[in-house]
Amino acid sequence: MKVGIIGGTKGLGKTLAILLKKEGYDVTITGRDTSVGLTVSEKLGVSYSNDNKKTANVNDIVIVSVPIATTSAVIKEIANSMKKGSLLLDVTSVKEGPSNLMNELLDDDVEFIPTHPVFGPRTTNLNGQVIVLTPIKKGKWYPKVIDFLKKHKMRIIEASPSEHDKMMSIVQILTHFSYISTASAIKKLGISIKDTRKFASPIYGLMVDMISRIVSQNPILTYSIQLENENGENVRETFTESVLELKDVLTNQDEEKFVKIAIEATKNLDDIQAALGRSDKAIESLNHEISSLKNAVGKEIALKHIYSEEVHIGILTDLDPEFVTLNTKKGEKNLKIANIKILDEENLKEWKLINKEIKTQSISCVFPNSCNEAIIAQAISKLDEITDVKITDIYHGPQVANDKISITFEIDAFDVSAFENVETFLKGFGGIIR
């Protein structure tokens, strides 16, 4: 299956190229800059073309992954070049414009599925991520795409293009606009956000983190989303009205009106108790992590970088509000607390199973005839660093006393020191190591 990704040299297009290549698709990416295109395509092991029309013409599936502002132009450019029976997808954050354009320009024998994958370019795992599909009509490709998304455990939302854009006018337009206004006001007021954090509850800290997330996004993308969504102007206008109204209410010291606005706004929000519960739990998990780190000072701990997924194991020697210092086998490491998480025993074991060499040793031990080898094997498997225990031999015979048997266990462990522990353990129950 041949897939062409228009704009596959960066961002989401590139992420899709990596993913589809891994799935066995024959992938071609396009991009305006030939030298960038050749470098990226070589690195990903995919083909490169600087000709969008030709790419549209030779592929079974074409995905348009270009900035919002140029999406319409690209659709217009390639619409007539798409081959019969092929599929065109876009991945733009607005859906009315692209959906209508594809519907208008494409031949009946070319299928199109407008999509909006609702996640940022930092996402590496599709599992649980939301994708909105706004099909105007469905053909033979539609169930195949659904199967693909389900296989990756994505949350699929189907909606009309206008419904999508209406929802995004809150999800994106309003939140981006109000958060950037807030951050811009803080800047104008000349107050240091870092200082304010000291004076406030952890909830405020997380609130500022959320504002930082939005405000620090690619401003050109944010700008395009504001402009391309047809509801944008109305949403900004309505928000401005609300701001001016609330400001006047306070200037006029109209307590009654203020209370009325707040209560009506609250009623329109969904389940407040659930919102309090979820945000309390989110804060609690961050606080819990800090206490766990405090308790781990002087002890061995395993920390995983949340983006690189690299695991660092060592003695936690120091902790300040921003960093932990870890004394690892490779030397001292300073790690930013915000970017690491503590691996619990289960996760650490999983990581070790993938990353550490497993050592194997056989241990034979003599026990009374009445023993139960399965119970012993299970007890061994619960000792530290042990990954697997098999019973490979049970011996009755001249080499052991009449009322005894010798059991041989094949034991897998992360470290050879574990085998000594096993012997001590078995001897502790009166077993005799052979």
**Distance in Å, CB of 83 to a copy of itself, minimum:** 33
**Distance in Å, CB of 199 to a copy of itself, minimum:** 4
**Distance in Å, CB of 158 to a copy of itself, minimum:** 11
d(CA 8, CA 29): 5
**Distance in Å, CB of 334 to a copy of itself, minimum:** 14
d(CA 361, CA 363): 7
Q: Exposure string (b/e) for 44-69, b if CB count within 10 Å is 16 or more?
A: bebbbbeebeebbbbbebbbbbbebe
CA distances from 162 to 146, 173, 223, 432 (A): 21, 15, 20, 77
Q: What are phi and psi of 134, to 5 degrees?
A: -125, 65
Q: Is the CB of 187 or the CB of 434 nearer to a copy of itself?
A: 187
Q: Is the CB of 138 or the CB of 341 nearer to a copy of itself?
A: 341
Are 53 and 77 contacting, i.e. CB atoms less than 8 angstroms apart?
Answer: yes
Residue 413, SS3 per DSSP = strand
Q: Is the CB of 84 or the CB of 122 nearer to a copy of itself?
A: 122
**Distance in Å, CB of 188 to a copy of itself, minimum:** 5
**Distance in Å, CB of 300 to a copy of itself, minimum:** 18
**Distance in Å, CB of 39 to a copy of itself, minimum:** 27
Q: Is the CB of 54 or the CB of 305 nearer to a copy of itself?
A: 305
Residue type, 79: A
What six digits make up the tokens of 298?
Answer: 């002087």
d(CA 207, CA 192): 15
d(CA 156, CA 132): 6
Q: Is the CB of 129 or the CB of 408 nearer to a copy of itself?
A: 129
What six digits make up the tokens of 18?
Answer: 């990596």
**Distance in Å, CB of 221 to a copy of itself, minimum:** 10
Which ranges of 152-270 would DSSP assign to H, the alpha helix? 161-168, 175-189, 193-198, 202-215, 219-228, 232-251, 255-268
DSSP 128-178: T-EEEE--SS--THHHHHHHHHHHTT-EEEE--HHHHHHHHIIIIIIHHHH
Q: Is the CB of 181 or the CB of 327 nearer to a copy of itself?
A: 181
In which element (H, E) is residue 5 found? strand 2-6
Q: Is the CB of 201 or the CB of 317 nearer to a copy of itself?
A: 201
Q: Is the CB of 35 or the CB of 127 nearer to a copy of itself?
A: 127
**Distance in Å, CB of 411 to a copy of itself, minimum:** 17
Residue 132 Cα to chain centre, angstroms: 17
**Distance in Å, CB of 325 to a copy of itself, minimum:** 17
Q: How far apart are the first and last CA of the chain?
A: 60
Q: Is the CB of 28 or the CB of 134 nearer to a copy of itself?
A: 134
Q: Is the CB of 45 or the CB of 120 nearer to a copy of itself?
A: 120
Number of Cβ atoms within 10 Å of the Cβ of 398:
7
Cα dihedral angle (412, 415, 420, 424), rounded to 10 degrees?
Answer: -80
